[in-house]
Amino acid sequence: MKKQIINYQYEWKLEKVKIKNLVLDINNVRLETEHGTQNEIINDLFLNEDAMSVLESIYQNGYFPDEPPVVVKEANKYVVLDGNRRIVSLKAMLSPSIAPSKYIHRIEKLMTDSQPIEDISVHVATSRNEAMEYLAAKHTKTTRKVWSALRRAYFYYAQKEQGQSVEKLIERYKGVDIPSYIKMYEMHNVALALKHTSQEIKAKAMNKRTFPISTLERFYSDGYVQNKLGIEFNKTTGEAKVPSSDDFDKVYSRVISDIVSGIATSRKELSKESDRERYLNSVVKEILGKEQVGQKQKKSASAFKPPTKPLTKKRDILVSSKFISPFDSPGIGRVLWELQTLDYIKFPNATADLLRTFLEITIKKYLEDTGGLPTPTDKNGKKKFVMLSHVLAKIKSDFKSSSNPKMEQVVQEIEKNKWYLDSINHNSDVFAVGDRVKDAWDQVYPLIKHIFEDYQKQVDSKK
Q: What is the pLDDT of residues 191-236, one digit of tens each?
A: 999 988 877 788 888 888 889 999 999 999 999 999 999 999 999 9
Residue closest to 446 by CA, chosen among 354, 339, 362: 362
CA 68 from centroid of its chain's CA atoms: 35
The residue count of the chain comes to: 463
- List Cα–Cα distances, 116 to 91, 93, 164, in angstroms: 9, 6, 40
Q: Does the pLDDT value for residue 397 go beyond 80?
A: yes
> What pLDDT is stored for residue 44 in this prediction?
74
Burial of 178 (0-12, 13-18, 19+ CB in 10 A): buried
240-243 sheet: strands from edge to edge: 232-233, 240-243, 298-300
Whether 451 and 326 have beta carbons less than 8 Å apart is answered as: no
CB atoms within 10 A of CB 171: 10
Strands (E), 217-339: 232-233, 240-243, 298-300
Q: Which helix (H) or strand (E) holds 120?
A: strand 119-125
> What pLDDT is stored for residue 144 in this prediction?
46
Q: Which helix (H) or strand (E) holds 57?
A: helix 51-61
> What pLDDT is stored for residue 313 in this prediction?
45
Does the global pTM surpass 0.85?
A: no
Give every CB contact of residue 132 below 8 A, 6+ residues apart in sequence. 155, 159
282-336 tens-digit pLDDT: 888 888 888 778 667 888 998 888 865 444 444 445 655 567 788 888 888 888 8
Residue 77 CA to residue 65 CA, distance in Å, equals 22
The secondary structure of 132-154, three-state, reads HHHHHHHHHHCCCCCCCHHHHHH
Q: Hey, is 289 helix, strand or coil?
A: coil
At residue 139's C-alpha, the angle toward residues 133 and 143, to 5°, is 120
The secondary structure of 8-52, three-state, reads HHHHCEEEEEEHHHEEECCCCCCCCCCCCCHHHHHHHHHHCCCHH
In whole numbers, what is the pLDDT of the chain averaged over residues? 84
The secondary structure of 333-396, three-state, reads HHHHHHHHHCCCCCCHHHHHHHHHHHHHHHHHHHHHHCCCCCCCECCCCCECCCCHHHHHHHHH
Give every CB contact of residue 374 below 8 A, 6+ residues apart in sequence. 367, 386, 390, 391, 393, 394
- Give me the CATH code for the 8-127+134-145 domain, please: 3.90.1530.10
Q: Hey, is 161 helix, strand or coil?
A: helix
Higher pLDDT pick, 176 / 87: 87
| Mean of pLDDT values over 33-45 | 71
Q: Which helix (H) or strand (E) holds 214?
A: helix 213-220
> What pLDDT is stored for residue 106 in this prediction?
94
